[in-house]
Amino acid sequence: MSVETLPPLREVIAKHQLSARKALGQNFLLDLTLTARIARIPGDLSGMDVLEVGPGPGGLTRGLLSEGARRVLAIEKDPRCLPALAEIAEAAPGRLQVIEGDALEVDALAHLTPPIAICANLPYNVGTELLIRWLTPPEWPPFWSSLTLMFQKEVAERITAEPGSKAYGRLAILSQWRATPRIALTLPPGAFTPPPKVSSAVVHLTALPEPRFPAQPKLLERVVAAAFNQRRKMLRAALKGLAPDIEDRLHTAGIAPTERAERVPLEAFCALARTFE
Ligand code: SAM
Tens-digit pLDDT profile for residues 117-152: 999 999 888 999 999 999 999 899 999 999 999 999
Domain that holds residue 250: 217-274
Query: Which residue(s) pair with 117 in the sheet?
Result: 50, 146
Query: Which residue(s) pair with 97 in the sheet?
Result: 73
Q: Say if residue 125 is in the same domain as residue 221.
A: no
Confidence class for position 35, pLDDT limits 50, 70, 90 = very high
CATH for 145: 3.40.50.150
- 54 assigned to a ligand binding site: yes
Q: Say if residue 63 is in the same domain as residue 158.
A: yes
Q: Say if residue 57 is in the same domain as residue 177.
A: yes
Q: Say if residue 238 is in the same domain as residue 177.
A: no
DSSP per residue, 153-212: HHHHHHHHPPTTSTT-SHHHHHHHHSEEEEEEEEE-GGGSBS--SS-EEEEEEEE-SS-S
CB of 200 shorter than 6 A to ligand 1: no
Write down the mean pLDDT value for the chain: 97
Cα-Cα-Cα-Cα torsion 39, 42, 48, 52, nearest 10 degrees, comes to -50
* Average pLDDT rounded to a whole number, residues 86-102: 98
Q: Please indicate, yes or no, if residue 212 is contained in any of the structural domains.
A: no
Q: Say if residue 143 is in the same domain as residue 223.
A: no
Q: pLDDT value at position 125?
A: 80
Query: Which residue(s) pair with 242 in the sheet?
Result: none
Please give the number of the atom of ligand 1 that sits closest to the Cα of 120: 1
Which of 16, 27, 28 is the best mutation target for the ligand 1 pocket, counting ligand atoms within 8 Å of the beta carbon and taking the most? Answer: 28
Q: What is the pTM of this model?
A: 0.96
* Average pLDDT rounded to a whole number, residues 200-229: 97
* Average pLDDT rounded to a whole number, residues 154-164: 98
Instruction: For residue range 109-119, list pLDDT tens digits in order.
Output: 999 999 999 99
Among 187, 207, 227, which residue terminates a domain?
Answer: 207
Confidence class for position 1, pLDDT limits 50, 70, 90 = confident
Q: Please indicate, yes or no, if residue 25 is contained in any of the structural domains.
A: yes
CB of 26 shorter than 6 A to ligand 1: yes
CB of 103 shorter than 6 A to ligand 1: yes
Q: pLDDT value at position 124?
A: 82
Q: Please indicate, yes or no, if residue 132 is contained in any of the structural domains.
A: yes
The pLDDT > 70 percentage for the chain reads 100
Q: pLDDT value at position 168?
A: 98
Q: Say if residue 14 is in the same domain as residue 141.
A: yes
